[in-house]
Amino acid sequence: MRIRIIGAPIDLGADRRGVDIGPNAIRYAGLSEQLQHLGHTVHDIGNLPIPSPRSQPVGDLRLKYLEPIVEVTEALANQVTTALQESEFPLILGGDHSVALGSVAGVAKVYKNIGVLWIDAHADFNTPETTPSGNIHGMILSALAGLGDKRLTEIGGWTPKINMEYIVIIGVRDLDPGEQDLLRKHHIHVFTMSDIDQQGIASIMQQAIAIAGHNGNPIHVSLDMDALDPHEAPGVGTPVRGGLSYREAHFAMELVARTEQMVSMDVVEVNSILDRENATAQLAVELTLSALGKKIL
């Protein structure tokens, strides 16, 4: 496979600083070299230019840094579309989870009825009316589904980017009250950590893949490193105890690889300031490798 690595060190969608270092930390952990060792061809185009939060006005407190986030995600969407048109697999390194607005928009220009596996401690399904923080990284999945402020939902010129039937959220354990209401209202498929405890990661992922990949739909995987338990991934901006174990996360990625339906992937929210010896970035590399075909035997 030909893989195009696109760094998107955006640090505007969240309150905690540090995820802007994430793409380079993942690279430093050996991403390109290990992908090449698997037999892939790697084309790393470097990082997109991202304005610093210090240089930008916060703006509306319900939609912090909206204008620069829209500008950056539009640029990212174009890069992702170009990668796919040139027969390269876009691997997007965040940055906070607002990068997925650009990633999925770019994929959706090329593929219709794309399914999304959103692997995250949070659903990111708030709107300006439900958000308790105003942080846009918590509104991205709802915006992709056509809910919320039109300046977010209409990235790329159309909305929605994804059909709600093909959205699956996995590993969630921290939801805001208004977000819970929206998820129920729109019948979004959500597998919580309690579901994983009860049914096991194999069953959950088989169900999730069947939903997102219905009728052979192409699948976008958006992996937020806070889906893992903080014991495994300490370097994330919004850690929540009780997350995926090391092996659960790897097995989830291995099952995705077996489908051969994944057409793009985000790896986001690696916060190097909070990390220990680059452990979270190293784990991000390992999980990416599993998603792209690495096997134990």
> Looking at 96, 149, 254, 269, which residue is catalytic?
269
96 catalytic residue (yes or no): no
> Looking at 40, 88, 122, 254, which residue is catalytic?
122
71 catalytic residue (yes or no): no
> Looking at 11, 88, 96, 124, which residue is catalytic?
124
226 catalytic residue (yes or no): yes
> Looking at 224, 232, 254, 286, which residue is catalytic?
224
186 catalytic residue (yes or no): no
189 catalytic residue (yes or no): no
> Looking at 88, 179, 226, 254, which residue is catalytic?
226
Q: Are 40 and 46 in contact (CB under 8 A)?
A: no
Transcribe the chain into DSSP letters: -EEEEEEE---SSSSS--GGGHHHHHHHTTHHHHHHHTT-EEEEEEEPP---GGGS---STTSTTHHHHHHHHHHHHHHHHHHHHTT-EEEEEESSTTHHHHHHHHHHTT-SS-EEEEESSS-----TTT-SS--GGGSHHHHHTT-S-HHHHTGGG-S-SS-GGGEEEEEE----HHHHHHHHHTT-EEEEHHHHHHH-HHHHHHHHHHHHTGGG--EEEEEEGGGB-TTT---BSS--SS-B-HHHHHHHHHHHHHHT-EEEEEEE-B-GGG-STTHHHHHHHHHHHHHTT----
Q: How far apart are CA 289 and CA 221, in angstroms?
A: 13
124 catalytic residue (yes or no): yes
> Looking at 20, 88, 96, 97, which residue is catalytic?
97
List active site positions. Answer: 97, 120, 122, 124, 137, 224, 226, 269
